[in-house]
C-alpha cells in the first residue's frame, strides 16, 4: 500500500508537533533517591527542565511531594537526620531487595494494603497476588470472557431450578468477573486516598487472572482455551508479563513466602516459554552485568542440560508446572469433566478410565475438596529421578480416607518436545 505518492505526502506534509510525555512516578522517585547527591536538586532538574508547560510542571511538583510522602509513610523511604557524605537526605530502607521497584502507579497502595492480610490464612499467598492484580491494567477481553462464562453457568443453574426468564436475567445482570478481596480493597483504597490525594487520579480494579490460573492449575494454553481468547493472546501475555514483573520487583522480602516465590518463578517461566524474548530482554536491560539470581528470574538448570531454553531446564519452575497439572486433574475429576480429562491425556497409549473411577469415587463420597488445603504438601508427592519423575496427587475426600489418587510418571524429554508437561504413564489408584 506504500507508493511514491505516500512518501511525497510524508515529506511535504506539516510535521506533527512533539508532545512531552513526562510523568512523575514512584519508580522515578525511587531511582532518584538511590542516586548519590542532592535528591532535591535532581528532582528540580527533572521537574523544571522538561518541555511541559509551567502549569503542568507545577502539578507534577505537587504530585512528586505527595508520592514522596507516600513512600515515607509506607516505610519504603526514610529521611536521614543529616545528609550522607554524597548529599542524600533520603534513602531506601535496608529491608528492600536490591531490585525493588514500583512499576505501577498504585504500587504504594498495594504495599500499604499488604498490612491488612493475615499471614496465617490458607489463602495468604493468593491474597498477596490479588492485591497486586488490583493495581494492574485490565486485560479487558479476558475479564469479559470470565464474566460471560460466570453468567452462562448461573443462567444454566437458574434455568434448571425453573426460575422465570426475566428473573434470571435480573439476577445475572449483577454477576461480573471474579473480584477477590473487592470489598476490603475498596475500603482500604478510600482510606488511602484521604492521605494520598494523588491516588484519586487512578483507580483499583480487583480481578483474578493469575490467581485463577493457580487455583485451577491452568497453563497459558488452558487459559486461552477455557475463555476462548485465541484472538486476544497478545493482550493476555502482556497482562501476565506485567503481573510477573510487578510481583518480582514490588513485593517486600518480609511478605514473601516459599509458595509466593515458587509462583513468581513459575509465572516468569510461563511468560518466557510463550515469548522468551520478553523476560530475557528485561533482565538484560535492568542490569547487563548482573549475576544470575532469583531477582533476575534464576534459571535453576539441571546438571547436564544443554538447552537453557528447554521447558525442563528450570527445574524449580517445571516442578510447579507438574504440581499445577496434577491439581488440575483433581479439579476436572471433581467437576466430572470426563471429556476434558480424556482430551488432556489422549496422547497416552493407556489412559485411565476416568468414568469408572468417578463412578467408584462418588459412590463412596459426596464431593471432592478442591480448596487451597487440598493443594497442601501432604497431598502431593514428587520424586525427581533423572529424566523420569514419579508423581502422586492424593484426592482429598470429605471423610479424610485419602483412598483415591492420581499417580504417574512425568517424561521430561517428551515435555521439552511438546512444550508442556507430558506423562509417560498415568493412572488412578483406588
Residue 163 confidence class, pLDDT cut points 50, 70, 90: confident
Contact 265, 319 (CB under 8 A): no
Contact 421, 374 (CB under 8 A): no
What is the per-residue pLDDT across 19-53, written as a single tens digit (0 to 9) for each?
888 888 888 888 898 889 998 899 999 999 988 99
Q: Name the helix (H) or strand (E) containing 389.
A: strand 388-394
Q: Is the pLDDT of residue 129 over 50?
A: yes
What is the per-residue pLDDT across 343-400, written as a single tens digit (0 to 9) for each?
999 999 999 999 999 999 999 999 999 988 898 899 999 999 899 999 999 999 999 9
R_g (Cα) of the chain, nearest Å:
25
Q: What is the pLDDT of residue 278?
A: 47
Residue 288 confidence class, pLDDT cut points 50, 70, 90: low
Contact 282, 175 (CB under 8 A): no
Q: Residue 206: which of 236, 184, 238 has the closest Cα?
A: 184
Residue 101 confidence class, pLDDT cut points 50, 70, 90: low
Q: Is the pLDDT of residue 289 over 70?
A: no
Top-confidence residue, 275 or 177: 177
Cα 394 from Cα 381, distance rounded (Å): 8
Task: Give the range among 81-95, 107-121, 279-293 with minimum mean pLDDT.
Answer: 279-293
Q: Is the pLDDT of residue 147 over 90?
A: yes
Percent of the chain with pLDDT over 70: 90
Cα 183 from Cα 141, distance rounded (Å): 23
* Residue linked to cell 497459558: 220
Q: What is the pLDDT of residue 299?
A: 41
Torsion sign, CA atoms 187, 191, 194, 197: negative
What is the per-residue pLDDT across 45-74, written as a single tens digit (0 to 9) for each?
999 998 899 999 999 999 899 888 888 887
Q: What is the mean pLDDT of residues 233-252?
A: 92
Beta strands 405-411 and 380-385 are: unpaired
Q: Is the pLDDT of residue 96 over 80?
A: no
Percent of the chain with pLDDT over 90: 54
Top-confidence residue, 293 or 224: 224
Cα 297 from Cα 320, distance rounded (Å): 15
Cα 263 from Cα 233, distance rounded (Å): 21
Q: What is the pLDDT of residue 357?
A: 95
Top-confidence residue, 26 or 117: 117
Question: Cell numbers at residue 362, please?
Answer: 462418588
Q: What is the mean pLDDT of residues 198-218?
A: 91
Contact 395, 320 (CB under 8 A): no
Q: Is the pLDDT of residue 297 over 70?
A: no
Name the phi and psi angles at 406, rounded to 5: -90, 130
Q: What is the mean pLDDT of residues 173-192?
A: 94
Q: What is the mean pLDDT of residues 226-253?
A: 92
Residue 126 confidence class, pLDDT cut points 50, 70, 90: very high
CB atoms within 10 A of CB 139: 22
Cα 52 from Cα 54, distance rounded (Å): 6
Cβ within 8 Å of residue 30, ≥6 positions away: 71, 76, 77, 92, 100, 101, 102
β-sheet bridge partners, residue 385: 388
Residue 282 confidence class, pLDDT cut points 50, 70, 90: low
Note the pTM of the prediction, 2 decimals.
0.74
Q: Is the pLDDT of residue 305 over 50?
A: no
Per-chain mean pLDDT for the chain: 87
Q: Give burial (CB, 10 Å; 0-12/13-18/19+) of 76.
A: buried
Amino acid at each position: 500500500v506504500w507508493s511514491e505518492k505516500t512518501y511525497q505526502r510524508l515529506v511535504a506534509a506539516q510535521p506533527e508537533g512533539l508532545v512531552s510525555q513526562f510523568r512523575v512516578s514512584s519508580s522515578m522517585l525511587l531511582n532518584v533517591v538511590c542516586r548519590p547527591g542532592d535528591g532535591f536538586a535532581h528532582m528540580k532538574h527533572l521537574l523544571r527542565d522538561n518541555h511541559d508547560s509551567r502549569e503542568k510542571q507545577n502539578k507534577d511538583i505537587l504530585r512528586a511531594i505527595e508520592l514522596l510522602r507516600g513512600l515515607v509513610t509506607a516505610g519504603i523511604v526514610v529521611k536521614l537526620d543529616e545528609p550522607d557524605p554524597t548529599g542524600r537526605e533520603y534513602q531506601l530502607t535496608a529491608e528492600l531487595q536490591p531490585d525493588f521497584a514500583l512499576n505501577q502507579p498504585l504500587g504504594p497502595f498495594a504495599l500499604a494494603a499488604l498490612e491488612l492480610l493475615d499471614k496465617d490464612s490458607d489463602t495468604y499467598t493468593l491474597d498477596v497476588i490479588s492485591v497486586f492484580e488490583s493495581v494492574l491494567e485490565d486485560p479487558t477481553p479476558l475479564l469479559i470472557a470470565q464474566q460471560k462464562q460466570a453468567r452462562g453457568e448461573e443462567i444454566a443453574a437458574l434455568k434448571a431450578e425453573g426460575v422465570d426468564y426475566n428473573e434470571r436475567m435480573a439476577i445475572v445482570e449483577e454477576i461480573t468477573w471474579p473480584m477477590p478481596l473487592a470489598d476490603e480493597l475498596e475500603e482500604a483504597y478510600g482510606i488511602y486516598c484521604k492521605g494520598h490525594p494523588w491516588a484519586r487520579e487512578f483507580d483499583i480494579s480487583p480481578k483474578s487472572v493469575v490467581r485463577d490460573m493457580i487455583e485451577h492449575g491452568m497453563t497459558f494454553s488452558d487459559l486461552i482455551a477455557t475463555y476462548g481468547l485465541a484472538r486476544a493472546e497478545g493482550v493476555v501475555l502482556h497482562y501476565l508479563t506485567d503481573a510477573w514483573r510487578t510481583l518480582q520487583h514490588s513485593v517486600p522480602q518480609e511478605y514473601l513466602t516459599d509458595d509466593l516465590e515458587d509462583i513468581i518463578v513459575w509465572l516468569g517461566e510461563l511468560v518466557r516459554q510463550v515469548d522468551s524474548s520478553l523476560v530475557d530482554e528485561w533482565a538484560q536491560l535492568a542490569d547487563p552485568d548482573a549475576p544470575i539470581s532469583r531477582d533476575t528470574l534464576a534459571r535453576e538448570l539441571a546438571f547436564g542440560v544443554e538447552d537453557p531454553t528447554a521447558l525442563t531446564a528450570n527445574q524449580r519452575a517445571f516442578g510447579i508446572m507438574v504440581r499445577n497439572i496434577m491439581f488440575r486433574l483433581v479439579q476436572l475429576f471433581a467437576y466430572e469433566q470426563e471429556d476434558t480429562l480424556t482430551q488432556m491425556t489422549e496422547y497416552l497409549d493407556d489412559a485411565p478410565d476416568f468414568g469408572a473411577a468417578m463412578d467408584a469415587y462418588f459412590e463412596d463420597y459426596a464431593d471432592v475438596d478442591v480448596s487451597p488445603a487440598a493443594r497442601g504438601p501432604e497431598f502431593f508427592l514428587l520424586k525427581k529421578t533423572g529424566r523420569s519423575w514419579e508423581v502422586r496427587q492424593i484426592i482429598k475426600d470429605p471423610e479424610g480416607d485419602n483412598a483415591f489418587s492420581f499417580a504417574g510418571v512425568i517424561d521430561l524429554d517428551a515435555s521439552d518436545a511438546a512444550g508442556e508437561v507430558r506423562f509417560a504413564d498415568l493412572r488412578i489408584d483406588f
